[in-house]
Amino acid sequence: MKLIVNGKEVETARDLSLEELLKQYLESGKLDGIAVAVNGEVVPKGSWSERTLQVDDRLEIIRAVQGG
């Protein structure tokens, strides 16, 4: 199914959980300090495994960077 992840269209398997998607990009150990919003709403880390992604979901996967 089609998702928009950080502004880019990607194709993924259906019935993917948010946690599974994140692990496709990031190693399990590197999930600290990351936050995710789906369709404009933050999904807390504790809910990542329960949240099933739907077609056309827009994801923002963010972290802190240097800033003023």
Q: By the criterion CB under 8 A, which residues form the site for other proteins?
A: 5-7, 25-26, 30, 33-37, 40, 42, 44-45, 60-68
CA proximity to 52, closest of 18, 9, 10, 3: 18
Q: Please, which residue, 14 or 40, has the CB nearer to other proteins?
A: 40
The residue type found at 44 is P
In the complex, the smallest distance separating the C-beta of residue 34 from other proteins, rounded to whole angstroms, is: 6
CB of 19 to other proteins, least distance (A): 15
State the number of CA atoms in the 13 A half-sphere of 9 facing the CB: 4
